[in-house]
Amino acid sequence: MEERTVVISGAGIGIGRATAIAFAKQGYVVYVTDILEREGHEVVQQIETQGGHAVFRKLDVTDSTAVDAVIQEIEKEFGGVDVVVANAGIAHRVPLEQMTDAKWDLTNDIDLKGCFRMARAAAPRMRQRKKGVIIAVSSISGITYGWGEHVHYSAAKAGILGLIRGLAAELGPDGIRVSGVAPGFIRTAQSLSEEHSMGQAKLDAQASSIPLQRIGEPEDVADVILFLASDAARYVTGQTILVDGGLTIRQG
């Protein structure tokens, strides 16, 4: 049987880590990529301990040459990438009056352009093979939710929605599906950060405002990503699924 491959950016922690483990359990060869080397190697070790097959590659998604090299390595070794999960991102708290061009550009270079670089690198071979799935991680802040002091993050995550639609329209005739997920309040290092997000106490306090009455876990998002990559979602493309426990439809 042909081995299925997935490459995930930002896979050392949080949603990326949970996604790597989820794909490994389904028999994928998982390329775990991140700038966090120790965490990335730990994910690979966990997958291999559980009988899976994973490889770590240090990757900064702002480096086009490095992104291209990882994709080319997978193509050379396995014939192609079956699934790309563009997950790497940052969310730094920056009040508007302190928002320099450099801070704006850094967030967009990682969160939005990083997704573009992953897709651009994988698309040519996917087109040749007439198959492939690209999944990008957006946020409720890119769809329906305003987040003060994070306007650069919200703009980048909103841009991902347009990227998904445009890629889906362009690549669909070649059998490539492009979709996304938009997580709500998920228990990750980012959301637990006192400096850049809510911190644990404020995050836990949000549970009562969510219809499902709990904060999401990284695995809740990973399972939706796995669905979008699967044949069960074979007629889904250009869509971004909210994974927020109902937060954005609450009435009070």
Domain locations in the chain as residue ranges: 5-247
pLDDT at 251: 66
Q: Would you place residue 65 in the very low, low, confident or very high pLDDT band (cuts 50, 70, 90)?
A: very high
Q: What is the pLDDT of residues 132-190, one digit of tens each?
A: 999 999 999 999 988 899 999 999 999 999 999 999 999 999 999 999 999 999 998 77
CA–CA separation, 221 and 236 (whole Å): 17
Superfamily of domain covering 5-247:
NAD(P)-binding Rossmann-like Domain (3.40.50.720)
pLDDT at 87: 98
Bridge partners, residue 5, by sequence: 29
Cβ within 8 Å of residue 206, ≥6 positions away:
185, 198, 215, 247
Cβ within 8 Å of residue 248, ≥6 positions away:
140, 143, 144, 145, 184, 242
Inter-helix orientation angle 113-129/151-171, to 10°: 10
CA–CA separation, 109 and 104 (whole Å): 9
Q: Known catalytic residues?
A: 153
